Amino acid sequence: MLSYERTSGWTLTSHALSYVARVSSRAEIDLVLEEARRRSLSVTLRGAGYSYGDVILNPDGVVIDLTHMNRILAWDPATGQMTVEPGVTFEQALQVCLQDNWVVSSVPGIRHPTLGGAVANNVHGKNAWNEGNLGDSVVAFKLLAGNGRVYQCSRTENQELFFAAIGGLGLLGIFLEIVLQCKRIPSPYLEVSKWTVPNLESMLEDFEAVRSTTDFHIGWVDCFSRGADLGRGTIHTSRFIERPSRSAKSEILGYISPYILGVFPRTWVWPMLKPFFGNTLMSAVNTVKFHTDKVSTRRSPYVQNYFEFTFLLDMIPNWRVLFTPRGYLELEPVIPFDSCARTMRKLIELTQQNGRPSHLTAIKSHRADESMLSYSVDGCSIGIDLPLNAGGKAEEAELFYRMTELVLEAGGRSYLAKDEMLTVDHFQQMFPRWREFEALKQRYDPDLLFQSAMYRRLFQAEAVKPALAV
């Protein structure tokens, strides 16, 4: 049942050898947990493996792969409630609910992650300001805790455990069933508008103007631009509309053409660019995109199906190919509104000063939530992607430390699902309820059965400040 394998985070920067078990039922979970206890091994949970760093790694421990527990247990088109096993993907759930004009209220930029992993990380999408994170749509769940008991959790039953397990990184136990409240929509189609902005400040000003009038909004930022142009980019907004008259192909829910312009395979894009990958190429790509968007805004608004707009990263799939073999690191902080402009500008300038401008960068709006380890505040996030150099993560420690200091100074927090560089001292400052979470873990998982490399890094390691260059 246990297979000794090499596992990795999605960005390929963190790896571990672990005992992997692929389960498809509660009975199989029980057998794996029994074996782990017998051998005094800790257990980490894994869905589709899209968490970036060490949250799904467990060196020389057990990793339970839940992707085969993938049944939709119930769907009620009258109420929009769906009950799923943890291995159900966003794509699976959406293929069901979209047919009845409902949608999972909060989804990430790709369609393949599992709902169990997504709830454990409390993921967000391009509508986080309007709909909150995924945890805001969770009605209830059954949790198999580390003490061996199953708890029914909701906003009124085992409330404390409910808000701790949402965004709890799989450290309290295994979701056996999850009940989600979907959102009613007029059709699975969106009217999309886009326009370019000359700098970061303009983007954030336009964000404030559109937050209350759109269903989705996101900004794509050119982090190679400098001076007055720093942070120039493109804003995409959309709103649900009644079903338009479309071709039969577009009527296929979830359809994304495998070709660009009907000829060029999307899967060829990144492998063809890989030999030229670097700051020079990505600077050119960002420049071309900005000016192309500037011209194409004349064609706004236009209609897209839900999958085309929401899962934009699937339009040119597997873009991590560009960052192989070393992978890339990401810092995605959420920064309060009143600090966004100056802090994001400082972050972008700092990466430029270090010769490491972010290659792929997006800005989204957020609102605070009730999760115990919540990364959300009323503010905006910025995703800063940095290819890993030959020196590895140690080479990047100082840069990430300085960036995180800027985030802390602004009252922001890091998105843990994408983190692998946060230090203990920064974690404890960003997440003031961490002691409360740890006490809860001691109660429901007294033997610390559920652990991960991230847990040991952030909860069990001593707070040590790295030596900074002067």
Inter-CA distances, 125 with 191, 217, 225, 364, 365, Å: 17, 9, 26, 8, 9
For residue 73, the surrounding DSSP H or E stretch is strand 72-76
Whether the Cβ atoms of residue 125 and residue 108 lie closer than 8 Å to each other: yes
- Nearest Cα neighbor of 103 from 113, 93, 111 is 93
**End-to-end CA distance of the chain, in Å?**
52
For residue 409, the surrounding DSSP H or E stretch is helix 393-409
**Residues 6 or more apart from 407 whose CB is under 8 A from it?**
331, 333, 335, 343, 347, 413, 414, 430
Going residue by residue through the chain (470 aa), what tens digit of pLDDT does each one get? Answer: 799 999 999 999 999 999 999 999 999 999 999 999 999 999 999 999 999 989 999 999 999 999 999 999 999 999 999 999 999 999 999 999 999 999 999 999 999 999 999 999 999 999 999 999 999 999 999 999 999 999 999 999 999 999 999 999 999 999 999 999 999 999 999 999 999 999 999 999 999 999 989 999 999 999 999 999 999 999 999 999 998 765 444 454 666 777 776 777 888 887 887 887 889 988 998 999 999 998 888 777 999 889 989 998 887 778 788 888 889 999 999 999 999 999 999 999 999 999 999 988 999 999 999 999 999 999 999 999 999 888 889 889 999 999 999 999 999 999 999 999 999 999 999 999 999 999 999 999 999 999 999 999 999 876 444 444 43
Question: Residue 412: what are its φ and ψ, rounded to 5°?
Answer: -95, 175
- Nearest Cα neighbor of 203 from 239, 236, 237, 233 is 233
Inter-CA distances, 143 with 171, 177, 190, 264, Å: 11, 8, 36, 46
Whether the Cβ atoms of residue 20 and residue 57 lie closer than 8 Å to each other: no
Inter-CA distances, 144 with 217, 240, 270, 347, Å: 37, 38, 41, 41
Residues of the chain with CATH 3.40.462: 189-418
- CATH number at 189-418: 3.40.462
- Spatial separation of the C-alpha atoms in residues 347 and 186, rounded to whole Å: 40
Inter-CA distances, 352 with 27, 168, 357, Å: 52, 34, 5
Q: Is 391 left (phi over 0), alpha (psi -120 to 50) or beta?
A: alpha
Residues of the chain with CATH 3.30.43.10: 3-65
E strands, 222-267, are: 233-241, 259-260, 264-265
CATH 3.30.470.20 for domain 3-65, yes or no, is no
Written as six digits, the tokens of 169 are 């990184």
**Residues 6 or more apart from 456 whose CB is under 8 A from it?**
none
Class of domain 72-184: alpha beta
3-state per-residue secondary structure call for 111-171: CCCEHHHHHHHCCCCCCHHHHCCHHHHEEEEEEEECCCCEEEEECCCCHHHHHHHCCCCCC
Residues of the chain with CATH 3.30.465.10: 72-184
Whether the Cβ atoms of residue 361 and residue 381 lie closer than 8 Å to each other: no
